[in-house]
């Protein structure tokens, strides 16, 4: 068994559209390599800083992420197990490539829909204002199918006005 503590720069595209690890930022690895019959078992954790935007209000968010890593790397030349998962990793010329394993561990630990806080209200769908900044914000939305009737509301509401209008129409 061998342990490794190292800080490495983050590779490109470590994340999703709204959230991820910035390229070149530090990823602290605390790994353990164990020789097993099939190959080398790599286990440990990766510590990184995540940054992005809230999926509801687009405010910037940042936090530290701890990702667990555990992967078996098979010796070169060994037959890989015939399982449904064909994404098996091999030791090639006494080297292992940790980037795909690290990427899988970190990206799957990221939230699918990142939010700045659990009860974030987001943005107004009409004007785009942040609803947390104006709690009573709303818009008068009129159904376009009823828009032609808006002029009639004054005459229907006042029955005295409508009877005078009819008398004036009869006189003319």
Nearest to 122 by CA among 112, 111, 107, 133: 133
Q: How confident is the model at residue 133 (pLDDT cuts 50, 70, 90)?
A: confident
The three-class DSSP label of residue 111 is coil
pLDDT value of residue 166? 52
pLDDT at 84: 43
- pTM, full prediction: 0.67
Q: Each residue of 12-41: pLDDT tens digit? A: 888 888 899 999 999 999 999 999 988 899
Residue whose C-alpha is closest to residue 110's, from 6, 43, 44, 18: 18
CA atoms within 13 A on the CB side of 139: 11
- Residue of 58 and 85 predicted with greater confidence: 58
The single-letter DSSP state of residue 130 is B
pLDDT for the residue numbered 52: 94
Chain segment 41-80, per-residue pLDDT in tens: 999 999 999 999 999 999 999 999 999 999 998 987 656 5
Tell me how far apart the alpha carbons of residues 1 and 44 are, in angstroms, rounded to a whole number. 13
Q: Which residue has the higher pLDDT, 157 or 103?
A: 103
| Token pair belonging to 121 | 């209200």
Is the confidence at residue 160, as pLDDT, over 90?
A: no
Helices (H), ranges, the chain: 99-109, 153-157, 159-171
The pLDDT value recorded for residue 64 is 95
Distances (CA, A) of 91 to 44, 49, 77: 18, 29, 9
Provide the pLDDT for residue 140. Answer: 79
Average pLDDT, stretch 86-105?
83
The three-state secondary structure class of 40 is strand
**Neighbouring residues of 162: CB distance < 8 A, sequence distance ≥ 6:** 155, 156
């Amino acid at each position: 068994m061998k342990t490794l503590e190292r800080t490495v720069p983050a590779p490109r595209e470590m994340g999703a559209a709204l959230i991820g690890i910035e390229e070149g930022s530090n990823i602290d690895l605390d790994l353990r390599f164990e020789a097993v019959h099939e190959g080398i078992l790599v286990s440990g954790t990766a510590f990184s800083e995540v940054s992005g935007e809230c999926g509801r209000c687009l405010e910037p968010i940042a936090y530290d992420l701890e990702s667990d890593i555990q992967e078996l790397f098979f010796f070169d030349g060994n037959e890989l197990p015939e399982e449904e998962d064909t994404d098996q990793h091999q030791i090639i010329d006494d080297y292992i490539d940790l980037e795909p394993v690290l990427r899988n561990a970190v990206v799957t630990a990221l939230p699918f829909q990142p939010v700045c806080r659990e009860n974030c209200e987001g943005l107004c769908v009409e004007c785009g204002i942040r609803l947390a900044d104006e709690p009573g914000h709303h818009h008068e939305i009129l159904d376009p199918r009823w828009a032609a009737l808006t002029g009639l509301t004054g005459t229907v509401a006042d029955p005295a006005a409508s009877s005078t209008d009819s008398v004036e129409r009869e006189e003319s």
